Amino acid sequence: MRIAMLSDFHLGYERFREDAYRQAKEALETAAASADVLLIPGDIFDNRHPTPDVLAEAINLFRDLSRRTWKAHVVSFAGEGRSYTSIPIIAIPGTHERRAEGVEDPVDLLGLAGLLVDATNASVVVEKDGEKIAVRGLGGIADDRFREIVARENPKPVEGMFNVLFFHQSVYELLPFDKNFIRTDELPKGFDLYVNGHIHGKVEAKAHGKPFLISGSTVLTQLKAGEQEPKGFFIYDTAVGGYTFNRIRSRRFVFLKLKIDGREPGQIEGEIERLVRENCSDDKPILRIEISGKLKAGYKNLQIETQEIVRRFSDNAIVEIGRDGVEVAGGSQSQGGDGIALSDGASIKDYGLGVFAERLRENGYSLDRNPGELFDILSSEGSKEKAVKHAMGLLLGQ
């Protein structure tokens, strides 16, 4: 059987919304034409409260897939998720969809509509021509709870089947800045294939001697150096015991570094214009220029018209200019005040949760609710008042 792994569509991502939809559509359609089963390990949506028009985009994508003729079918389901279809499209929520426990998320809604199988904490068996694969989903869980959930669920492979474990988590070997992140050697043993989402770059690794694969996002979001590689998805073929990476058409991304080496703002602005001009084209790439180094003595800040450069080249490039690495006499121009590094590959939510947990520790937090669960509650409500009321009710048992 051919198993496609495609992830992190981020439908509704405001900055590149058209790219998110177009590239998710191509990935899904290409994968459906080439594979028997589609596994989607989280972040179908960019927001846990997608607007009706973004929900409509997702419904249209999966409705079109549901009309295809599938030779493989879901024949067994057991667990907490939603299964109202036999179509072999299996998904879990990611960090962008995750809400407080017991509250419906947008992947739940797609499962309730019968457009996919929501495998949150569930086991799904798919069959084609007598061959069966067992898929065990865990769903996007706060990183500080993942070990607890794994111990509680105790996922185990099914004898006589090809077994897949798929989830949506930070992994310490890839993001080594938080001890809460799971390590690959802590994952349950015995599975033939491990599939993860969350990380936006393609990863090919091993867990317990078996393939550990992350296909990466289908759309650019973080604009980091690691996102310059092609976008796409993996297909694993159980007949040959191997996999391939299938590219999709995606907007070109160029990450550029500009070392200023004692130059003055006017010279730096000229260098930025030169870099943009050399890299822009009719396909309108995304250009990220990171400026670092010391300004010429006597200048206290980098006063350049970056917005004018962005506007001038807007027909031929999407330009973003970062200046956090610029140094002036007496220190850097932009200082981070939280003391927690945002590592390459980490999302803003990872960073926010890290800051939140650190602040709780600093203030002697000792209640039995873990920081990840509180963070989800506080960030899932539509207003501050509701969020605080919900959190306090949970803490006080009301």
pLDDT of residue 304: 80
Strand partners, 236: 3, 243
Share of the chain above pLDDT 90, in %: 61
What span, in angstroms and rounded, lies between the C-alpha atoms of 79 and 61? 25
Q: Which range is most confident: 94-103, 171-180, 201-210?
A: 201-210
pLDDT of residue 247: 96
| Mean pLDDT of all residues in 291-309 | 84
Span 2-38, pLDDT tens digits: 999 999 999 999 999 999 999 999 999 999 999 999 9
Span 317-356, pLDDT tens digits: 999 998 888 887 555 444 333 333 333 444 545 546 556 6
The answer for residues whose C-beta is within 8 angstroms of residue 282's C-beta and 6 or more apart is 316
Inform me whether the pLDDT recorded for 169 exceeds 70: yes
Inform me whether the pLDDT recorded for 298 exceeds 50: yes
| Mean pLDDT of all residues in 377-382 | 55
Lowest-confidence segment of 164-168, 221-225, 325-329 by average pLDDT: 325-329
Inform me whether the pLDDT recorded for 365 exceeds 90: no
Span 174-191, pLDDT tens digits: 988 888 899 999 999 999
Considering Cα of 86, then 87, then 88, then 93, what sign does the dihedral take? negative
Residue 390 vs residue 251, higher pLDDT: 251
Strands 286-294 and 117-118: unpaired
Inform me whether the pLDDT recorded for 254 exceeds 70: yes
The answer for residues whose C-beta is within 8 angstroms of residue 346's C-beta and 6 or more apart is 170, 175, 177
In which band, very low, low, confident or very high, does the pLDDT at 265 lie, cut at 50, 70 and 90?
confident
Strands 122-128 and 131-137: antiparallel
| Mean pLDDT of all residues in 125-134 | 97
What span, in angstroms and rounded, lies between the C-alpha atoms of 227 and 344? 10
Share of the chain above pLDDT 70, in %: 81
Span 54-92, pLDDT tens digits: 999 999 999 999 899 999 999 999 998 889 999 999 999
* Mean pLDDT of all residues belonging to the chain: 85
CB 96 within 8 A of CB 153: no
Inform me whether the pLDDT recorded for 235 exceeds 90: yes
Domains in the chain, CATH or no CATH each:
2-247 (3.60.21.10), 253-332 (no CATH), 348-396 (no CATH)
Residue 12 tokens, joined: 């509704």
pLDDT of residue 177: 81
In which band, very low, low, confident or very high, does the pLDDT at 391 lie, cut at 50, 70 and 90?
low
CB-side neighbour CA atoms (13 Å) of 120: 26
The three-state (H, E, C) secondary structure of the chain, written as one string: CEEEECECCCECCCCCHHHHHHHHHHHHHHHHHHCCEEEEECCCECCCCCCHHHHHHHHHHHHHHHCCCCCCEEEEEEECCECCCCCCEEEECCCCCCCCCCCCCHHHHHHHCCCCEECCCEEEEEEECCEEEEEEECCCCCHHHHHHHHHHHCCCCCCCCEEEEEECCCECCCCCCCCCCECHHHCCCCCCEEEECCCCCCEEEEECCEEEEECCECCCCCCCHHHHCCCEEEEEECCCCEEEEEECCCCCEEEEEEECCCCCHHHHHHHHHHHHHHHCCCCCCEEEEEEEEECCCCCCCCCCCHHHHHHHCCCCCEEEEEEEEEEECCEECCCCCCCCCCCCCCCHHHHHHHHHHHHHHHCCCCCCCCHHHHHHHHHHCCCHHHHHHHHHHHHHCC
pLDDT of residue 276: 94
